[in-house]
Chains A and B, each alone.
Chain A
Amino acid sequence: MLTQPRTYQLDTSQKRFISYHLVIAVIALTVGSIFGPLQSFNWGGLDLYQFLEPIGLGDYYKGLTLHGVLNALVWTTFFITGFLTLTTIVGLGRPLKHPRLNWAGFITMAVGLVMAGIPILAGWASVLYTFYPPLEAHWGFYLGLTLVVVGSWIEGYGFYLTYYQWRKENPDTRTPFITFGGLITMVMWQLATIGVAVEILTMLLPFSLGLLDGTDPQLGRTFFWFTGHPLVYFWLLPAYISWYGLLPREAGGKLFSDSAARLAFWLFLLLSIPVGFHHQFVDPGIPNSWKLIHATLTYGVAFPSLLTLFTVVASLEYAGRKRGGTGLFGWIRALPWHKPSVSAQLLAGILFMFGGIGGITNASYNVNLVVHNTAWIPGHFHLTVATAATLSYMGISYWLVPYLTGKPLWKPKLAVAQTWFWFVGMLIFSNAMHVLGLLGAPRRTDLNSAPYVPEEWSGHLLRVSIGGAILLIGVILYVLIVYKTARGKDHLPEGEEIEVPIAESITDPQLTPMWLDRWRPWLVGSVALIILAYGPQLAQQISNAQFTSPGFTP
């Protein structure tokens, strides 16, 4: 058994660099989260948009675009790049090889955010975060989003170069788990975003600049969902890094299986991308055989999530029993629920089980006819991105913000309460959304002005509003706690330092076979599988492309 060396401590400039990511992430979450509850109130019959009309935010779909872009894309991407900077530096125990490169990436992201934000606020890009053509936004929106993605790539190159140097010096050591997970997340993201990069650079940007008269909406959808599904794993994998690599330590235990954890991450790299057609099961332009192939591969990517369920629960059981928990379920009570970071991640994990079940439902080919484009879908992804990912990120920030600022967490008991607000609010909201979807309610629709809403929906629509209100309290508390912590006057007592809670593995990581720490076979396999699953159909769609659809500004 290896003894854990003292973790590498970040210096002030490194802490500041990561903090800037979090500042932008939290601001995006704050602004974006205002609009979610507004939508939920609209569904319950309370239209508050009229009061926002004087400041130009009275449009349901502009608000929906802001909510989707800021919460699902900006909050996540900035938090994740900041967090992966930490997992790279702390895991490898060395500074970034080229900090200026990472700064360049971060600045590119920030510039892109401003560039995309202006047209959204001006109402020139109310195309939602999926921006399906031939809905047409201002070119600044597309270019801005591209810069956010490219900036995240540049930060990723900084991680790779740092890792490469470490690997040269440590050829036989297993990559520290949190770094390993972070690198796979970034590589998966860089492969995945090729789809949306091609869509924007070859279709939408020239289209919005007037260089192309028309576009091919079906081809656009195919490129989008090449990125759109692995995007979900880009949100989830950082939470998984924490659940496997940090949470067991916070809970007083160890990682149950280093091998299984690594295997899961490799399988996510392999299987996250060649599954995009499961978002297009009811599209007209794709043959059914290809849809079934992607359905099967989507079941494949459920496997590493099931593996994660076992390993994370086993790690937590180990912690609970070490803390004196007995019996079949006693260990659950024995976990340190009083720690806000632990409470957040446990609650996120519980709701994510329902997210996983719903995800398998969505993947189920013809079953998708029942749920496609219904309220079920946002009900589902509010359990994944808005809970498994977001609530875990909130939990991470409850130790990360004190770690970065050297200040104690403001009102830890309130932070625990905050995690429960999120859990309860999401339970009500998401359940109501799932039920509404099964009853046929469409997603992303200003239902308050729809003519076809039957009486049968009204109780569930009210529950959507109630859940939204509780979530609003949850997000306000979160922002307040982070703000008060960061701006607090108290510093941690002398000699008391917060450490990054890196979990040991029960088994020595050196027992993990080397094939679980080698890049080449997995990278080659991933690219090969993408080519097999996408190549023929994409070649067909490209060769048959007809750029005949003119643009429409919503």
Chain B
Amino acid sequence: MISTDSDPTNPGEDGRTHHLDVYERRWMIASVALLVVFAASVAVAGFGLGFQVPGHESRVDPNTVADSPPWNNPGLRDLGNGEYEVYVIGRQYLFEPNEIRVPVGATVTFYVTSVDVQHGFKLQDTNINMQIVPGHISKLTRTFEKAGEFPYICNEYCGLGHASMAGSLIVEAQGG
């Protein structure tokens, strides 16, 4: 498609008669190869190794979601075998609940929704980072191997009190 047989030892001189330089063509091939490697890497990591982003979960009515189970009682559910679910409601300008305690080793699935505007849910120092959109449920799972305190903060502008919207996940050492 693209002709290129100009003298590779003398690129970029006046008098070139072909419209595309040989180095330019090599650069193009290398660029495409690099981008293909990137795309393949994230696809394998996401769909093969489980480093996944939130997907489509389910729809709710933001006006009534907080009235019926499980959202009328936000917080932690112990499913046994170290598995937990936590339901979090975002509203201007707080999270319900604003404190969650789990033991070390817990695998926690976060379900988050909003009853008013868009919020963010970012669990600091982890890859739990979700856009919270009224009418939708955002879901991600993570296992906590170390004890410690992880703040969760709203990272989408939601109004004047946005900066104060935060909570805390506490991973407790076993027996403690």
Chain A residues within 8 Å of B, Cβ to Cβ: 1, 59, 61, 64, 126, 128, 132, 134-135, 216-218, 221, 256-260, 280-288, 291-292, 295-296, 299-300, 302-303, 306-307, 310-311, 314, 317-318, 360, 364-370, 372-374, 440, 442-452, 506-507, 511-513, 544, 546, 548-550, 552, 554
Contacts and interface: CB of A to CB of B under 8 A. Distances in A.
Interface in B14-60: 14, 16-21, 23-24, 27-28, 31-32, 34-36, 38-39, 42-43, 45-47, 51-57, 59
A451 B154 CA distance: 12
Residue of B19, B47, B57, B125 with most chain A CB atoms under a 10 A cut-off:
B19
Interface stretch (B71-79, B80-88, B101-109, B133-141): B133-141
Contacts of B51: 366, 369
B160 to A, nearest CB: 6
Contacts of B34: 306
A258 B19 contact: yes
Contacts of B31: 302-303, 306-307
Contacts of B159: 61, 135, 552, 554
Contact of B155 (A296, A311, A443, A549): A443
7 contacts: A280-B131, A306-B34, A307-B27, A373-B122, A506-B14, A511-B19, A513-B19
Given A257-B20, A442-B120, A546-B135, A449 B163 contact: yes
B122 to A, nearest CB: 7
Given A284-B139, A288-B53, A444 B157 contact: yes
B59 A310 contact: no
A318 B12 contact: yes
Nearest to B134: A549
Contacts of B138: 282, 284
B42 A295 contact: yes
A303 B164 contact: no
B55 A257 contact: no
A506 B133 contact: no
Q: Report whether over half of chain B's contact residues are helix, strand or loop; otherwise say mixed.
A: loop
A217 B134 contact: yes
A307 B28 contact: yes
Contact of B24 (A126, A132, A310, A549): A310
Contacts of B27: 306-307, 310
Contacts of B18: 507, 511
Q: Which 3 A-B pairs have the closest CB atoms?
A: A442-B155, A284-B136, A373-B155
A548 B135 contact: yes
A259 B17 CA distance: 12
B133 A221 contact: yes
A292 B47 contact: yes
B166 interface: yes
Contacts of B143: none
A440 B123 CA distance: 9
A442 B154 contact: yes
A398 B64 CA distance: 58
A299 B36 CA distance: 8
Contacts of A443: 155
B20 A282 contact: no
A126 B139 CA distance: 29
Contacts of A549: 62, 134-135
A459 B162 CA distance: 23
A367 B43 CA distance: 11
B163 A447 contact: yes
Given A134-B117, A284-B57, A284-B137, 18 more contacts: A132-B117, A134-B134, A217-B118, A292-B43, A314-B11, A364-B38, A365-B46, A368-B53, A370-B127, A373-B122, A444-B157, A450-B163, A452-B151, A452-B153, A546-B61, A549-B134, A549-B135, A552-B116
Given A366-B52, A373-B120, A282 B164 contact: no
Contacts of A217: 117-118, 133-135
A158 B149 CA distance: 60
A132 B155 contact: no
Nearest to A370: B127
Contacts of B36: 299
A105 to B, nearest CB: 32
A286 to B, nearest CB: 6
Contact of B118 (A132, A445, A548): A132
A299 B43 CA distance: 12
Contacts of B56: 284-288
A444 B158 CA distance: 10
A511 B16 CA distance: 10
Contact of B164 (A314, A317, A360, A451): A451
A374 B62 contact: no
Contacts of B46: 288, 292, 365-366
B39 A282 contact: no
Contacts of A286: 55-56
Contact of A284 (B35, B131, B154, B157): B131
B129 A282 contact: yes
B37 to A, nearest CB: 10
A292 B39 CA distance: 9
A445 B157 contact: yes
A218 B52 contact: no
A372 B24 contact: no
Given A295-B39, A302-B35, A256 B53 contact: no
B156 interface: yes
